[in-house]
Amino acid sequence: MKKIPLILDCDPGLDDAIALLFALASPEEIDLLGVTTVVGNGPVQQTQENARRICELAARPDIKVFQGCPRTLFAKLSSSTYSATDIHGETGLGDCKLPPPSMPLQPQHAVSFIIETLLNASEKITLAPSGSLTNIACALIMEPRIKEKIDKIVLMGGVIGLGNITPTAEYNFYCDPQATYVVFMSGVPIVMIGLDVTRQTQTSEEWLHTIEAMGTPVSQAIIDMLSYYHRPDAILEPGVTGGVLHDPNVIAYLLKPALYKGRHAYVEIDISSTIMAGRSTVDWHKKLSFQPNGYVINEVDTAGFFDLLTERLKRYTHVMKKDPTCSHS
């Protein structure tokens, strides 16, 4: 398999952290050119620090991490929107208290890095945003020529059915509806992996026991992160019994797209300031005359997803030079 040149745009976040570990454990398939961070599950200062913490946990301090946008395009949402401590904990990593990162934060802004990397690329690059689309939209606005260098955008966001932050919107799209609109109207090929899919990949106590049995520093850190989803006072959606591994689906799709089913459809993003903001209306049955602007996933082989994720996480057999100080609550 030819390596996928990839820029991972994220806002760690528990599930983002697992997605990053997933990607870092797949060097045969993924050429990770850089990790860009954005506001979303927490302030961008926190998300970039967490990205560096995870790279060090994976013994990959060579990965370049860039800090991106601290606010959304219109910056109309309250600062409280940029925090999901009820889901991810105060630090964004649940009960896992990894040491402060020692690897450097790159001085270049994430948006500039995305633009520069794409313009200078000799082959097309895949973008994998797992948070709000602010960085990606800013790059497209600032330098439209990059569209020709993007192979595709495989994103976690949106929903065909019910939302998770409002009745109709998924959190990433809700954080920056205008940026989401820009990306979907850009003409770049998009694969949308929304809540309809990710709700099918929930962690179970049995799977956590499998991870814990690996007995590595990485597996212990994963347990201390994901156990936060299983705490007695965890805030869960109806029908959800564990942690929903939203963002690792992006990496799983890149590695093994056969695990997923979907169809090409037109996706309209609501950019109003009403309770409908961030809603993704998917013309699933082609009732409208608009051309499809995304490949919308609606099914995943859940067992296959967890088999692939587990196999990759087993690769972390190294011992960290600096052990994390994680503890269960």
Q: What is the per-residue burial (b if ≥16 Cβ within 10 Å, else e) of 188-223?
A: bbbbbbbbbbbbbbbbeeebbeebeebebbbbbbbb
- How far is CA 183 from its chain centroid? 16
Element of type H or E holding 8: strand 4-10
Cα diameter, the chain: 58
Q: Please report, in angstroms and rounded to a whole number, the separation of the first and last CA atoms in the chain.
A: 42
- Token pair listed for 164: 């998770």
Residue 99 has, within 13 A of its CA and on its CB side, a CA count of 11
Q: In this structure, which amino acid lies at residue 49?
A: E
Residue 88 appears among annotated catalytic residues: no
Question: Distances from the Cα of 59 to the Cαs of 64, 84, 102, 169, in angstroms?
Answer: 13, 27, 12, 36
Question: Distances from the Cα of 275 to the Cαs of 116, 134, 242, in angstroms?
Answer: 37, 20, 27
Question: What is the DSSP annotation of 105-160?
Answer: PBSS-HHHHHHHHHHH-SS-EEEEE-S-SHHHHHHHHH-GGGGGGEEEEEEE---S
Q: Tell me the C-alpha distance between 141 and 196, whole Å.
A: 29
Q: Is the distance from CB of 198 to CB of 246 less than 8 angstroms?
A: yes
- Token pair listed for 87: 């889901």
Q: Is the distance from CB of 170 to CB of 194 less than 8 angstroms?
A: yes
Active-site choice (109, 230, 246, 328): 246
Just list the catalytic residues.
246
